[in-house]
């Protein structure tokens, strides 16, 4: 006998009271999506825990996938056995024979969720411990620091045996915290911001501003590749490519040079906000981090933020660049982000943009322009793509073009 299922322990879901059912359902769906290519797998979702029934599917690969699913605190490969001490002994014996016979030290940790079982936990520990020692004389018991801790849990319907606890990423299941628009540039920061938002359960739609011919197809492909990476976590992502050339040309022509960047950012935010309204999201996420560049001073954020009352979430705001890079490496967006590309926001920006723009000034300069046409045009001409993880990309592109 080998493991036939994986026991999933919930993370913070457990603290969510009445909403618990919804959280469990979200997590079940995340797992189901992530395990699509394992058709034999079945999921049993309960209030306190979930079981993935392997039905012969490869547990090593499935374990790798589960380690990335938000909302999972930890999980353990397990085997279900009838509530019969002889059957339990036999199952423990087989697990040690197949997996743990060379592990030197062990301990049995019995738990009874159901007290009607005829043996108490001390009895079970002793009976199984003695049985394993007899079958594998080379093993020793170590109750303090064993190499293998075989947990035996007696529940009303059956007994479960497991010996390994693998950590999940924690967080909340994707989709359990509402939807936001992620402004994704192609740089290092915004994919990390998106990852952090998803970890807190947010569903994302991705927005990218594209300014051909100033920015090339290469830059666009980069954003598609980054979105694809994020979709490995989210399942499927909608990407809006917003044509931004005309607006940028107009801004650079009509706004004094040192305020071009501030106005450009304000315009990007207004367009994103319009897309947000259209797609019924509740927030905007950026990869801004305090002090990184000229546009990321408090003065600048204060001037830019004026154009909307929509919450703008900046998951990286207080983080150091080195810590951001570490996460980018972990989530495999780093190498895509560092490919050279043209950034639509730097193209028209002077060598030294204002680091302390003022609201009154920017409002005065903008009062001579009518932005509404640019906003509507950008929104109406946005190209929308459905991005899926690598294997299914072709299908999604054919669907669209
Ligand atoms: P990043 O590494 O994410 O590019 P950055 O440090 O280069 O960030 P900026 O270029 O000032 O900083 O951009 C700040 C944020 O504005 C980005 O993190 C992103 O959320 C948003 N942004 C910038 N350019 C674009 C773009 N072309 N399309 C969509 N969002 C953008
Ligand atoms: Mg950038």
Same structural domain for residues 29 and 104?
Answer: yes
Measured in angstroms, how far is the CA atom of residue 242 from the centroid of ligand 2? 16
Find the ligand nearest to 316 CA.
1
What is the best residue among 192, 244, 269, 287 to mutate for testing ligand 1's pocket, by most ligand atoms within 8 Å of CB?
287
Same structural domain for residues 157 and 187?
Answer: no
> Is residue 174 assigned to a domain?
no
Q: Which residues are paired to 80 by β-bridges?
A: 160
Is the peptide bond preceding residue 213 cis, with omega within 30 degrees of 0? yes
Same structural domain for residues 224 and 139?
Answer: no
Compute the 3-state secondary structure of the chain and give helix, strand, coil in percent, each to the nearest 5: 45, 20, 35
> Is residue 173 assigned to a domain?
no
pLDDT of residue 16: 55
Q: For residue range 366-376, list pLDDT tens digits in order.
A: 999 999 999 99
* Residue percentage of the chain with pLDDT more than 90: 78
Measured in angstroms, how far is the CA atom of residue 207 from the centroid of ligand 1? 11
Closest among 230, 187, 224, 200 to 315, alpha carbons compared = 200
Q: For residue range 256-315, list pLDDT tens digits in order.
A: 999 999 999 999 999 999 999 999 999 999 999 998 676 789 999 999 999 999 999 999
Same structural domain for residues 212 and 237?
Answer: yes
Same structural domain for residues 96 and 39?
Answer: yes
CATH number of the domain to which 310 belongs: 3.40.50.620
Nearest CA to ligand 1 atom 8: 189
Q: For residue range 189-203, list pLDDT tens digits in order.
A: 999 999 999 999 999
Ligand 1, CB within 6 Å, residue ranges: 183-185, 187-190, 207-209, 286-288, 292-293, 295-296, 344-345
pLDDT of residue 399: 30
Measured in angstroms, how far is the CA atom of residue 116 from the centroid of ligand 1? 60
Measured in angstroms, how far is the CA atom of residue 364 from the centroid of ligand 2? 27
Same structural domain for residues 316 and 229?
Answer: yes
Question: Domain limits at 255?
Answer: 179-398
Same structural domain for residues 344 and 389?
Answer: yes
Low-confidence spans in the chain with pLDDT less than 70: 1, 13-18, 292, 294, 344-347, 349, 351, 391-401
CATH number of the domain to which 124 belongs: 3.30.2130.30
Ligand 1 atom with the shortest distance to the CA of 265: 16
Measured in angstroms, how far is the CA atom of residue 128 from the centroid of ligand 2? 60
* Number of compact structural domains in the chain: 2
Same structural domain for residues 205 and 140?
Answer: no
Contact 193, 296 (CB under 8 A): no
Find the ligand nearest to 295 CA.
1
pTM to 2 decimal places? 0.85
Sequential DSSP letters for 365-396:
HHTTS--HHHHHHHHHT-EEEEE--GGGHHHH
């Amino acid at each position: 006998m080998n493991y036939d299922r994986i026991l999933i322990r919930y993370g913070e879901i457990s603290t969510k009271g009445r909403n618990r059912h919804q959280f469990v359902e979200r997590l079940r769906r995340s797992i189901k999506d992530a395990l699509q290519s394992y058709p034999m797998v079945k999921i049993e979702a309960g209030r306190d825990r979930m079981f993935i029934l392997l039905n012969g599917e490869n547990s090593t690969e499935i374990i790798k996938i589960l380690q990335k699913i938000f909302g999972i605190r930890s999980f353990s490969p397990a085997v279900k056995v009838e509530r019969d001490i002889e059957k339990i002994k036999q199952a423990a014996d087989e697990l040690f024979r197949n997996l743990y016979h060379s592990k030197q030290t062990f301990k049995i940790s019995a738990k009874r969720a159901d007290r009607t079982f005829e043996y108490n936990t001390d009895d079970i520990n002793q009976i199984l411990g003695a049985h394993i020692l007899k079958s594998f004389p080379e093993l020793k018991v170590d109750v303090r620091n064993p190499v293998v801790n075989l947990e035996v849990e007696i529940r009303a319907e059956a007994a479960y045996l497991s010996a390994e606890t693998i950590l999940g990423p924690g967080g909340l299941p994707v989709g359990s915290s509402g939807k936001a628009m992620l402004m994704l540039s192609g740089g290092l920061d915004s994919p990390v911001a998106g990852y952090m938002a998803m970890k807190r359960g947010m569903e994302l739609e991705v927005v990218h501003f594209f300014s051909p011919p100033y920015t090339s197809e290469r830059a666009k492909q980069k954003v598609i590749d980054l979105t694809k990476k994020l979709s490995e976590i989210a399942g499927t992502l909608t990407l809006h490519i917003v044509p931004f050339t005309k607006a940028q040309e107009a801004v650079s022509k009509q706004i004094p040079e040192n305020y071009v960047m501030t106005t450009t950012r304000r315009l990007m935010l207004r367009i994103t906000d319009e897309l947000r309204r259209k797609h019924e999201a509740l927030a905007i996420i950026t990869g801004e981090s305090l002090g990184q560049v000229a546009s990321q001073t408090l003065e600048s954020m204060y001037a830019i933020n004026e154009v909307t009352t929509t919450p703008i979430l900046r998951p990286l705001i207080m983080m150091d660049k080195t810590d951001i890079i570490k996460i980018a490496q972990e989530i495999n967006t780093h190498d895509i982000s560092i490919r050279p590309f043209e950034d639509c926001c730097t193209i028209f920006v002077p060598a030294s943009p204002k680091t302390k723009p003022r609201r009154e000034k920017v409002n005065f300069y903008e009062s001579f322009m009518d932005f509404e046409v640019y906003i509507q045009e950008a929104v109406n001409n946005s190209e929308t793509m459905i991005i899926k993880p690598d294997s299914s990309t072709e299908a999604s592109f054919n669907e669209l073009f």
